[in-house]
Copies of this chain bind each other. A is one copy, B any other.
Amino acid sequence: MQSRSSASRATGRPRSAAADAAILEATRAALVELGWSKLTLGDVATRAGVAKTTLYRRWAGKNELVVDAVAELFDELELPDSGSLAADIEGVVLQFAAILDRPEAKSGLMAVVAESTHDGALRARIRASIVDRQKRLVLEGRAHAQARGELPPEEDPGTAARAVDLIFDVVAGAVLHRTLVSAEPVTEDWACRLAQILLQGLPETTPPPPG
């Protein structure tokens, strides 16, 4: 986060650890009520019961603060080991959708992404704090599926890494688009149909009735 460099000061009053938590929590609360554009750092400071100075001493600005506040939300995600790849995908999709459905995640995440298009440092911070952290889910899911024999073992490490990225973009992107752009709910049915496409492709979308 913003850890003082290791070889740093030992003297003087230490920073209040409680303040950090209060500020991030206040940031999320403000995002819920006001959304990104009407969120002001002065207001966050007030909500957190903290001086504006304290806030600026720890974060460079609104963007950095919101990235940290939002990143915490995604750490809740975990892969359910449900016995089949399809069920694993469905489970993660529903969890991810549940987080994205929270207003603080919605407006916070999209806004920092928008800002990151003009700010390389912010982009890196987002990748490090949010995106790359959650790729672990795809990796774990694939490992489980391979153990079950649902997926073949990977041959080339390069190919495998590219596949992970692609899957992540498809799954996360679909949920993101459904939730934020289309602004439609992610239901169990939808998650099931998404998993089906991923595993079987389009032509089977409407399989012929057996018999």
Q: Which residues of A contact B (CB under 8 A)?
A: 34-38, 85, 103, 106-111, 113-119, 123, 126-127, 131, 149-152, 154-155, 159, 162-163, 165-170, 172-178, 180-184, 190, 193-194, 197-208
Contact = CB atoms under 8 A, between A and B. Distances in A.
Contacts of A114: 35-37, 106-111, 113-114
Tell me what chain A mostly uses at the interface: helix, strand, loop, or mixed. helix
- In the complex this chain forms, how many copies of it are found? 4
B165 A184 contact: yes
Nearest to A163: B205
A185 to B, nearest CB: 12
A170 B171 CA distance: 8
B170 A117 contact: no
A181 B190 contact: no
B117 A206 contact: no
B150 A170 contact: no
30 contacts: A35-B114, A35-B115, A35-B117, A35-B119, A36-B114, A103-B117, A103-B118, A106-B114, A107-B118, A109-B114, A110-B111, A110-B113, A110-B117, A111-B111, A150-B203, A152-B207, A159-B206, A162-B193, A163-B193, A163-B206, A165-B182, A167-B197, A167-B202, A169-B177, A172-B177, A176-B177, A197-B201, A199-B202, A199-B203, A200-B200
